[in-house]
Structure 1
Amino acid sequence: MKKENKVKNSIDISKTWWKEGVLYQIYPQSFKDSDGDGFGDFKGVIEKLDYLESLGITMVWMNPFFESPMVDNGYDVSDYRVIQPRYGSMEDFQNMLDGMHKRGIKLVLDVVVNHSSNEHDWFKQSRSSRDNPYREYYHWWPAEKGEPPFRHSLFDPEGAWTYDEQTNAYYLHYFAAAQPDLNWENSKVRYEVYDIMKFWAEKGVDGFRMDAFQYASKDTIFPEWPKGHEEEYDKWYGMNPPLHGYLNEMYNEVISKYDIFAVAEGAGTTLQDAHDIVDADRNELQMAYHFDYVGSDQLKLTDFKAIFTKWDTSFAEEGWLSIFLSNHDNSRLVNRFGNSSPEYRTVSAQMLNTFMLSMRGTPYTYFGDELGMTNIDMPSIEEYVDVSALGDYKRAVKEGKDLGEFMKNLNFYSRENSRTPMQWNDSKNAGFTTTTPWKKVNPDYKDINVAKQEKDPTSVLNHFRKMVKLRNENKVLVYGKYELLDKNNEDIYAYTRVLDGKKMLVLLNFTDHDSSITSPQIQQLAEIQINNYNSLAINNHTITLKPYQAVIVSLN
């Protein structure tokens, strides 16, 4: 696939398809089961391609579907060129990809190469003996040197080193013990990865999401690092300087040869870290995916606005951002940033989708958020299967934490919330499967489902479609200059988008009560483009928004 020519616009940002697109994330085993085994699969996605097209989205990012023992639901890969059988065959994959392309939808592959599964042949070879050619594909610490320096594990309360009796050594895993970290300092490992990426690019994949990639490069001397800095994980474990050389090498070997883009999960701890990864002249990755606002559901709106404004200002003329509020690693959008009560769920979900689709950057929508799907109540640890949740629980027990408080927080924030099956209709199991689903369906599916919302012009789903259409037809919402208005307003997030003489005003009430904003911009109101209510209260220079009202207006 030949790379397209790029042109410059008035704010000196190069234009290309992956900036102008709207991305929809599919967690494949929860999307649609076609064969009655309780797991979503490729044929299930194929059944719903017309639905995806109807949303107006132009890209799909799909979580891993490679061969895997599924310790971490596919983020532990045992063969990068083989499909996990529960999802189907390579022929099914190609049919799905062709069906997407036929509808103008690109596919972004989730590449998990900070680590592999401990069942990958590379690791089996690596652990077989100290002089095996694959030994240096992973990080090993000989036991005769004593215990290795402490490294925190995100999933394992015992830490990131696990003893392996077979060769009397410890191996490193920043995640679960079943996910040994690959040794990116070994050029053979890097070129194995580049070959894998080329394998999928040749099949027609259009982009790569690099899982946990900021951690790929390690200081192999493994100096002593202090305990007690788990909250500074990115600072201590990410962005080792050689990473930039590896990314540039990846760009030259793979990305530059195809019309594709790559985005890393995480962008370091500073704005400069992010720019060093994605600025065009760096020839590394193309899009920053950062986490500054992942916990911002606990922040005041003024702080929330400050975070987004800071990043937009920094990337106004160089680099490119993703815009997201939820994914497979977080609980549901409407619970965290909106209001999941029956009274306000619809309007608050509409408001949040309006926000994501009107900001500068590529919007990432997680499946089900176009319906306003909600968290599921799971108060008992026995209901959890996620390796992260179970690891956190073991750590809480080990540290003597208040388990009642821990379970309350886990129930709200656990990523189990985002992995419940897609709610297609009000039939048994929400139309996801004809058998027992791998994860129970949220009991609210009879009220929140695609079939019901299709019939309602005021639904979250149909508002999402209108908003995507507005963005797709107005490049001002893609490339336009962003300017924050009334930054100290604690209820309303207001901003303008301006490009080539075209101007739009975005007004978002983040509260459950009427709130007002006063601005000279209001005298320039022209045509209402989006409104999740039937009216808009205007009095001179003041607009009063109803609870969670979202309005986009063209300005003269």
Structure 2
Amino acid sequence: MTTNNWWQKSIVYQIYPKSFQDSNNDGIGDLRGIINRLDYIKELGVDIIWLNPIYRSPNVDNGYDISDYQAIQPDFGSMADFQELLDKIHQKNMKIMMDLVVNHSSDEHEWFKASRQGKNNSKRDFYIWRDPVDGHEPTNWGSYFSGSTWTLDKTSGQYYLHLFAKEQPDLNWESPQMRHSVYDMMNWWADKGVDGFRMDVINLISKPAKFQDGSVDLGETYADVEPIVSNGHKIHQYLQEMNKNVMKHHNLVTVGETPAASPDDAKKYANLDSTELNMVFQFEHMSLDANKNPALGKWGDRRTTLSELRANLTKWQLALTNKAWNSLYWNNHDQPRVVSRFGNDCPEYRVVSAKMLATMLHFMQGTPYIYQGEELGMTNANFDNLTDYKDLETLNIYQQLVNDEQLVSSTTMMNYIKLHSRDNARTPMQWDNSTNAGFSQQQPWLAVNPNYPEINVKTELADENSVFHYYQKLIKLRHTMPVITDGRYQLIDGNELDEDVFTYIRENADTKLVIILNFTNQTITRNYQLPIKKTLLISNYTEDLGSTLRPYEAKVYKI
């Protein structure tokens, strides 16, 4: 298979600018704060920095409602600041990937302002407008952020579609003029020197040919919109057109966020011929702990079992071999912290379980993504009060499930929020043990995790056994061992049903690696009859006890 593309050998570091580093003490992270921390990112050893949206925005959804795609949000700085950031990233031999949000815009974008002026406006078809049906919304689709996907424009008497907040109207990809306006914008950024795009919910851009009601689960008011709008009938046509108009003219890396994508979908989106995207973010392993009650969605307290996780990760590893390319991730700005979710964040086990989970992911085939603070073993925030949370999704779901539908109690819902709120990932980066974790001298826009005096960059840089230094070692191994990029993946015989230990093999013509991972807080024994002649490449314990596996032990042998 082809493994000589630069992005296949790269590691990506995701920055949520609002929470990374505040340079002007207004409580909000900014571009100059990122500039000031580039040496830290370089020291970690990554190749690509992915920035969450930094465009001008009313911030209804933390920047994912864009009012101007070619301007910088003033809270983050200026275009001159961005240019300096871009130049300095390149000077340090790293690359930058921008967040591209083109399923929807802000309702304050000039396109939408023009579109809502009337049915005869030249930009009316930049968005999706429909007449009422029997005096009501055109369909019964439910928004990702609760409520209907339709909002009535009283002036024209038509509804506009928004899969997310009502302030995020969906763009109409049926419009050639709209599509080419997007391509022009992408080329503008690429001409500036941007090295790639992470494309937000990109597989939702092709809407159904016919808009009709979906099925409604018991107890629900609206139909689940995801299966209705995901992977639409023209999605590959649109992405191939985008590729010809943008990607073919630049040496870009592209990753598409693709909810509800299957491995068969991914083989088309991320095919190795690069006619569409380079890779996709799929969500199956992020959905394994969803509530068994569909009315509650992801909100619950269920833990994913190892057999579920192993089966899913293995499915994707095997399905995409020689056909497409995987994105490897545990965390992002929308997911709770991995050590709290799949590991053990109590003081005794936080470090070893964070290292174990890192080992599990970074030896698989694909491009790894590290979300800011993951390399420190940062944990969920565990805020006690709803007023401590800022995330629109979190606040809306509490209103819906507790107050409107009364499906769960306030106490139960707060426990679910502690486990799954997107704000778990968005608390400020923990730089040191000074006020506000060194993020800002002013009150941050979102409270700092209370455990920052123990978990922070300064402490971990000084400790050679820290989670940070372990991530450094993993990155160096990926950069120096081709087998991690091009080796085939397989489970070790008999490991398919083991509920405690995950063991897999990576192997190419020259090298064989065996990765052994204890997923429990117990000391257990596993004898895999490995040859006597072997080298321990990396482990989260200082000595090797052979077949004895200590709590959350991870070790990788070169055979």
TM-score, L = length of structure 2? 0.94
For the 8 Å contact 1:22–1:59, the answer to whether it is kept is: yes
The answer to whether the aligner puts 1:495 opposite 2:504 as a matched pair is: yes
Please name the residue that 1:264 is paired with.
Answer: 256
Q: 1:29 aligns to what SS in structure 2?
A: helix
Deviates more, 1:442-451 or 1:479-488: 479-488
For 2:314 and 2:68, the matched residues in 1 are separated by 41
Deviation at 1:30, TM superposition (A): 0.3
Equivalent-residue separation in structure 1 for 2:461 and 2:239 (angstroms): 43
The more displaced of 119-128 and 380-389 is 380-389
Query: In structure 2, what residue type is equivalent to 1:554?
Result: K
Q: Which residue of 2 aligns with 1:446?
A: 453
1-structure distance, mates of 2:532, 2:491: 17
Asked if 1 retains the 8 angstrom alpha-carbon contact of 2:12 and 2:47, the reply is: yes
- Write the mapping of 1:479-494 to structure 2, written as runs, cut at 5 A: 479-485=486-492, 486-494=495-503
2:343 is the counterpart of 1:334 = no
Alignment of 1:399 onto 2:405: yes
Alpha carbons 1:267, 1:274 under 8 Å: kept: no
| 1:9 corresponding residue in structure 2 | none
One-letter amino acid of the counterpart of residue 331, structure 2: S
1:241–1:525: structure 2 CA closer, same or farther, 3 Å change rule? farther
Contact (CA 8 Å) 2:304, 2:342: kept in 1 or not?
no
Separation in structure 2 between the aligned mates of residue 144 and residue 313 of structure 1, nearest angstrom: 46
| Corresponding residue to 2:385 among 359, 372, 380 | 380
Is the Cα contact below 8 Å between 1:350 and 1:550 reproduced in 2?
A: yes
Partner of 1:523: helix, strand, or coil? coil
- 1:49 shift after superposition: 0.6
**SS across alignment from 1:19:** helix
Question: Using the alignment, how far apart are the partners of 1:132 and 1:508 within structure 2?
Answer: 60
Name the SS of the counterpart of 2:168 in structure 1: coil
Q: 1:349 aligns with which of 354, 366, 378?
A: 354
CA distance in 2: counterparts of 1:232 and 1:492, whole angstroms? 36
* Distance in 1 (alpha carbons) for counterparts of 2:383 and 2:407: 19
Whether 1:55 aligns to 2:60 is: no
Kept after mapping to 2: 8 A contact 1:55/1:465: yes
Secondary structure at the residue paired with 1:166? coil
1:37 counterpart (14, 26, 29) = 26
Q: Which residue number in structure 2 is paired with residue 414 of structure 1?
A: 421
Question: What is the letter of the counterpart of residue 145 of structure 2?
Answer: F
Decide whether the 8 Å contact of 2:208 with 2:233 is kept in 1: no
For 2:2, the aligned partner's letter is: I
Distance 1:516 1:323 in 2: 29
Question: Is contact 1:331-1:413 (8 Å) kept?
Answer: yes
Unaligned stretches of 5+ residues in structure 1? 1-11
Shift of 1:501: 1.5
8 Å contact 1:420–1:440 — kept in the other structure? Answer: yes
Distance 2:422 2:259 in 1: 21
* Residue identity matched to 1:60: I
How far is 1:518 from its partner? 2.0
CA change 1:215–1:125 in 2 (3 A) is same
2:3 touches 2:486 (CA, 8 Å); kept in 1? no
1:503/1:554 contact within 8 Å kept: yes
User: Could you tell me how far 1:224 is from its partner in structure 2?
Assistant: 2.4
**Which residue, 59, 75, 84 being the options, matches 2:64?**
75
Cα offset for 1:233?
4.3
Match of 1:368 among 363, 373, 394: 373
Equivalent residues of 1:509, 1:547 under 8 A apart: yes
Counterpart for residue 86 of structure 1: 75
**1:287, CA displacement in angstroms?**
0.4
Deviates more, 1:282-291 or 1:29-38: 282-291
Distance in 2 (alpha carbons) for counterparts of 1:144 and 1:487:
51
Percentage identity across aligned positions?
41
1:456 counterpart (455, 460, 463): 463
Alignment of 1:173 onto 2:179 = no
Instruction: Name the residue aligned to 1:510.
Output: 519
Equivalent pair of 2:502/2:517 in contact (CA under 8 Å) = yes
Return closer, same or farther for 1:231/1:348 CA change in 2, 3 Å cut-off: farther
Structure 1: distance between partners of 2:542 and 2:398: 47
The CA distance in 2 between the partners of 1:482 and 1:516, in whole Å, is 24
Given the superposition, is the C-alpha separation of residues 461 and 323 from structure 1 closer, same or farther in structure 2, using an over 3 Å criterion?
same
| 232-241 vs 506-515, which moves further | 232-241
The answer to whether the 8 Å contact 1:525/1:553 transfers is: no
Match of 1:8 in 2: none
**Structure 2 residue corresponding to 1:536, chosen from 541, 544, 550:** 544
1:284 deviates by 1.0
Change in Cα spacing, 1:450 to 1:231, as seen in structure 2 (3 Å) is farther
Paired amino acid for 1:438: W
Displacement of 1:219: 2.0
Q: Show the counterpart of 1:65.
A: 54
- Work out whether 1:150 is the aligned partner of 2:140: yes
Deviation at 1:524, TM superposition (A): 4.9
Of 437, 441, 451 in structure 2, the residue corresponding to residue 434 of structure 1 is 441
2:284 equivalent in structure 1: 292
Query: Aligned pair in 2 of structure 1 residues 232, 126: CA closer, same or farther (>3 Å)?
Result: closer
Deviation at 1:261, TM superposition (A): 2.1
Alpha-carbon distance, 1:33 to partner: 0.6
1:322 is matched with 327
Number of equivalences: 538
Matches of 1:280 and 1:373 in 2, distance apart? 35
* CA distance in structure 1 between the partners assigned to 2:61 and 2:27 by the alignment: 18
2:515 maps to a residue whose letter is V
The 8 Å contact of residues 389 and 446 in structure 2, kept in 1 or not, is answered as no
SS at match of 1:434: coil
**Cα distance in structure 1, aligned partners of 2:243 and 2:107:** 28
Secondary structure of the corresponding residue to residue 246 of structure 1? helix
| 1:550 is aligned to 2:558 | no
TM-score, normalization by structure 1: 0.94
Native 8 Å contact 1:267 1:273 kept in 2: no
Partner Cα separation in structure 1 for residue 88 and residue 516 of structure 2: 37
1:473 to 462, 476, 480: 480
Q: Which residue of 1 aligns with 2:293?
A: none
Partner deviation per Cα, 1:304-358 (whole Å, 9 max, x = no partner): 1111111111111111010111110011111001100000001111111112211
Partner Cα separation in structure 1 for residue 304 and residue 235 of structure 2: 32
Indicate yes or no: 2:293 matched with 1:301.
Answer: no
The alpha-carbon deviation at position 212 of structure 1 amounts to 0.9
Q: Which structure 2 segments of 5+ residues have no match?
A: 290-302
1:359 aligned to 356, 364, 376, which one? Answer: 364
Instruction: Rate the CA distance shift 1:282–1:531 in 2: closer, same or farther, 3 A.
Output: closer
Amino acid at match of 1:113: V
How far the C-alpha of 1:220 sits from its partner, in A, is: 5.0
CA distance in structure 2 between the aligned counterparts of 1:226 and 1:491, rounded to whole angstroms: 39
- Residue of structure 1 in register with 2:300 after alignment: none
What's the CA shift for 1:145? Answer: 6.1
The one-letter amino acid paired with 1:433 is: S
Work out whether residues 184 and 217 of structure 1, in 8 Å CA contact, stay in contact via their aligned partners in 2: yes
Which residue is equivalent to 2:531? 523
Corresponding letter in the other structure for 1:401? L
Segment drifting more, 348-357 vs 58-67: 348-357
Q: Distance in 2 between matches of 1:129 and 1:437?
A: 42
Preserved CA contact (<8 Å) 2:260 2:283 = no
